[in-house]
Every structure is written in C-alpha cells, then in structure tokens.
Amino acid sequence: MKLRRDPFQAIADPTRRAILVLLTSQALTAGAIAKNFETARPTISKHLQVLGACDLIESNPKGREIYYQLKVDKLKEIDSWLEQFREIWEDRFNNLDKLLTKLKNQ
C-alpha cells in the first residue's frame, strides 16, 4: 500500500486528528497513544505511519521506545491555507449578525 503525502487527507480522519491533539502537550510512544483509543495498537501504528508520511509528526527513538511528536511547522502551513476561508466565514457571519440585528429591531 502506497501512502499518500497529502496532509489534508491525513487530518480528514478523526482518529488521526485525535492523535495530533494528544501530541500537542507532549511526545508519546505508540503504546501510550493507543491507550487512548478502543482500537488495536497496529491500527494506531498505521495512523502514525500516515501522519509521518504526511510530515505532520516525527519519530524520535529513545532507548527501546520511539516517541512521536508534532511537526508544528507543517501544521502552520495548513493553518495558513485555512486562513483564507476563515476570513470568508467571519465576513459571512458578521453580515448574518448585522441582518439578524436589523430584523430584530424592525
């Protein structure tokens, strides 16, 4: 199976998003990550492979364990891309809020 390197495909999966959230506070081993899910550890390992192939996390061997941590720069790239949509949404919500206020005052 060839892994795609599209970070948006990687973050489309709710389990992978949850793994990223777990890694925001500290580096964790695959076993420590797996304890937070009701899936088998090999399934978590596959998710970690996808996240690694998309350059969203990095692995650091320490002794017999491998610790996974976020690659913040890659997440910043995703956030920058999303920013264009955030501005559109905010404008639309502001316009909706103005309309609702106007209708309420009539």
Q: Provide the domain count of the chain.
A: 2
Q: Please report which residue ranges of 1-106 form alpha helices under DSSP H.
A: 7-11, 14-22, 30-34, 41-53, 72-105
Q: Are residues 12 and 41 in the same domain?
A: yes
On whether both 76 and 52 belong to a single domain, the answer is no
- Work out the average pLDDT over 79-96: 90
Q: Compute the chain's Rg from CA coordinates.
A: 19
Q: Do 18 and 46 have their domain in common?
A: yes
Nearest residue to 11 via CA among 81, 91, 106: 81
pLDDT of residue 29: 96
pTM comes to: 0.77
pLDDT digits (tens, 9 = 90+) for 69-80: 999 888 888 888
25 and 49, same domain (yes or no): yes
Are 15 and 49 in contact by the 8 Å Cβ rule? The answer is no
pLDDT per residue as tens digits for the range 16-66: 999 999 999 999 999 999 999 999 999 999 999 999 999 999 999 999 999
Supply the pLDDT for residue 4. 58
